[in-house]
């Protein structure tokens, strides 16, 4: 009996021992699960810190010239003593060597501060010179000249520009970042810019309405053409460093090819606006001079005016894109790359597609806006005009048209 009791007690003790082992194992796993997030979080907190703040030069001292790494260019350097004007280091005086833009005592600049966690070291460098003061002056001169020589129309133009920038900054950009289709939201914002800008600058009248309708139809067509062109040429939108950084910052959620499409539409608006308004006004003035002339005759005469305008507009657009890409052109011209391979590269293919699509949009804006303007603005009054006179005017117009 005693032996049976001892055996039972031993078996109970063994079960308790096994249970304790299981509990200890579970407790160990639980503690590990708590500690892992803490360690991960600690790694996130201990990242290198980079901050930028406004500072002012207190004292400068000439330092030996240095050769830029990877080049043969010798640049001047200077030892800078500066006072921080904002941020957590406000009032602090720091010193560092500058090999960027040379500054002088009293100059403002933006100071970049690097705090390295690995060794606790802090490094300062010049991020950018303070450029806002001359920018403010240029902006003030621009407003003064616009209002001085443009009068009321110039003021309206400034208001239109402000509205356009507001729509781009507060509707287009947030919409794209929120994940909406860049092409659709670009067409929507372009239409809003066209409507607000046109009516603010030129008032609510039939001529403005004709130009607005013509521009919106053209923008929709260009949007479809741009989407087809980007897909056909397989443009990814990764044609610049900004695109790469943007993709990283949005964790790859942004449609960069769609953003490229949107950029084509927004970039076209300024020149498109000029062409459309010009054609609508041409139709209106021709109709005022000869109210008895048919829509077809007015259309042909206005188209001739538009043809003279198209060449300059297309040239302006193409040269503007080439000017913006000049450093890229110089870079590739230094290498013996076959011209066809050069054109095929995305950097160049993007600008070529952008220029061609924009030029097509400008060319089509002339007949589209002219046709819509003749429908809206031209209502021929033939009373008191003989058939012979009208026929003679038509023949003279045809002769003049073919002569040019």
Q: Which residues, 6+ apart, have CB-to-CB distance to 182 below 8 Å?
A: 176, 255, 258, 259, 261, 262
124 and 185 belong to one structural domain = no
**Residue 157 burial (CB count, 10 A):** 17
Helix, strand, coil percent values for the chain (each to nearest 5): 70, 15, 20
pLDDT score for 27: 44
Pairing verdict, β 49-67 and 122-129? unpaired
Distance between CA 156 and CA 168 in Å, rounded? 18
- Residue 38 covered by a domain: no
The candidate with the shortest Cα–Cα distance to 183, out of 251, 243, 231, 130, is 231
165 and 309 belong to one structural domain = yes
Decide which of 130, 161, 190 is a domain's last residue. Answer: 130
The candidate with the shortest Cα–Cα distance to 393, out of 292, 315, 318, 323, is 292
The candidate with the shortest Cα–Cα distance to 98, out of 50, 55, 63, is 63
Distance between CA 265 and CA 186 in Å, rounded? 7
How far lies 330's CA from each of 140, 335, 371, in Å? 34, 9, 43
Q: Under the phi-then-psi rule, with left for phi > 0, alpha for psi from -120 to 50, and beta for the rest, what region is 11?
A: alpha
- Residue 310 covered by a domain: yes
Distance between CA 247 and CA 328 in Å, rounded? 21
82 and 201 belong to one structural domain = no
Decide which of 130, 164, 180 is a domain's last residue. Answer: 130
Domain that residue 341 falls in: 153-403
DSSP-derived letter for residue 68 is: P
195 and 336 belong to one structural domain = yes
Token readout for 102 is 């040379």
CB 368 within 8 A of CB 214: yes
319 and 226 belong to one structural domain = yes
The number of CA neighbours under 13 Å toward the Cβ of 389 is 8
CB 364 within 8 A of CB 244: no
90 and 186 belong to one structural domain = no
Regions in the chain scoring below 50 on pLDDT: 1-9, 12-13, 16, 22-24, 26-45, 400-404
Q: Under the phi-then-psi rule, with left for phi > 0, alpha for psi from -120 to 50, and beta for the rest, what region is 95?
A: beta
- Residue 146 covered by a domain: no
Q: Which residues, 6+ apart, have CB-to-CB distance to 213 below 8 Å?
A: 372, 376
201 and 350 belong to one structural domain = yes
How far lies 32's CA from each of 19, 29, 36, in Å? 20, 5, 6
- Residue 143 covered by a domain: no
310 and 197 belong to one structural domain = yes
- Residue 81 covered by a domain: yes
216 and 109 belong to one structural domain = no
Decide which of 97, 130, 163 is a domain's last residue. Answer: 130
Q: Under the phi-then-psi rule, with left for phi > 0, alpha for psi from -120 to 50, and beta for the rest, what region is 151?
A: left
Distance between CA 113 and CA 122 in Å, rounded? 7
219 and 338 belong to one structural domain = yes
Crossing angle for the helix pair 387-403 and 295-324, nearest 10 degrees? Answer: 20
Distance between CA 54 and CA 352 in Å, rounded? 40
- Residue 40 covered by a domain: no
- Residue 25 covered by a domain: no
Distance between CA 39 and CA 34 in Å, rounded? 9
Token readout for 285 is 């003035």
pLDDT score for 140: 94
Number of domains in the chain: 2
**What does the radius of gyration of the chain's CA atoms come to, in whole angstroms?**
34
Distance between CA 39 and CA 46 in Å, rounded? 11
| CATH number of the domain to which 374 belongs | 1.20.1640
Instruction: Give the alpha-carbon dihedral of 20, 24, 25, 27, to 10 degrees.
Output: 140
- Residue 12 covered by a domain: no
Q: Which residues, 6+ apart, have CB-to-CB distance to 46 below 8 Å?
A: 117
Q: Exposure of 137 by Cβ count < 10 A (0-12 exposed, 13-18 middle, 19+ buried)?
A: exposed
| CATH number of the domain to which 103 belongs | 2.40.50
pLDDT score for 369: 93
Identify the bridge partners of residue 49 per DSSP, sorted by sequence position.
115
Identify the bridge partners of residue 56 per DSSP, sorted by sequence position.
83, 108
Q: Exposure of 140 by Cβ count < 10 A (0-12 exposed, 13-18 middle, 19+ buried)?
A: exposed
325 and 376 belong to one structural domain = yes
78 and 162 belong to one structural domain = no
């Amino acid at each position: 009996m005693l032996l049976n009791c001892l055996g039972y007690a031993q078996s109970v003790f063994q079960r308790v021992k096994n249970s304790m082992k299981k509990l200890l194992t579970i407790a160990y796993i639980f503690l590990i699960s708590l500690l892992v997030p803490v360690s991960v979080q600690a790694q996130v907190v201990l990242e290198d810190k980079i901050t930028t703040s406004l500072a002012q030069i207190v004292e400068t001292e000439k330092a030996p010239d240095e050769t830029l790494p990877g080049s043969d260019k010798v640049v001047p350097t200077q030892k800078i003593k500066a006072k921080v004007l904002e941020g957590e280091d406000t009032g602090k005086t720091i010193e560092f060597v500058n090999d960027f833009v040379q500054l002088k005592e009293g100059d403002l600049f933006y100071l970049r501060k690097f705090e390295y966690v690995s060794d606790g070291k802090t490094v300062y460098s010049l991020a950018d010179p303070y450029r806002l003061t001359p920018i403010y002056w240029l902006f003030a001169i621009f407003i003064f000249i616009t209002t001085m020589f443009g009068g009321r129309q110039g003021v309206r133009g400034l208001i239109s520009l402000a509205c356009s920038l507001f729509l781009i900054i507060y509707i287009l950009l947030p919409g794209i970042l929120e994940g909406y289709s860049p092409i659709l939201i670009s067409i929507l914002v372009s239409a809003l810019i066209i409507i607000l800008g046109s009516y603010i600058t030129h008032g609510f009248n039939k001529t403005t309405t004709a130009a607005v309708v013509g521009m919106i139809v053209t923008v929709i067509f260009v949007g479809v053409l741009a989407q087809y062109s980007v897909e056909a040429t397989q443009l990814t939108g990764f044609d610049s460093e900004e695109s790469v950084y943007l993709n990283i910052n949005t964790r790859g959620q942004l449609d960069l090819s769609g953003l490229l499409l949107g950029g084509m539409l927004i970039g076209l608006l300024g020149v498109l606006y000029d062409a459309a308004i010009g054609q609508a006004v041409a139709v209106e003035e021709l109709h005022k001079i000869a109210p008895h002339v048919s829509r077809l005759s007015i259309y042909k005469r206005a188209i001739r005016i538009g043809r003279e305008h198209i060449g300059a507009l297309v040239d302006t657009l193409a040269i503007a894109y080439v000017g913006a890409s000049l450093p890229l052109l110089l870079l590739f011209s230094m290498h013996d790359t076959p011209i066809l391979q050069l054109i095929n590269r995305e950097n160049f293919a993007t600008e070529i597609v952008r220029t061609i699509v924009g030029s097509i949009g400008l060319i089509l804006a002339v007949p589209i806006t002219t046709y819509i303007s003749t429908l809206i603005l031209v209502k021929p009054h033939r009373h008191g005009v003989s058939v012979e006179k009208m026929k003679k005017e038509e023949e003279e117009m045809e002769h003049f048209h073919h002569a040019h």
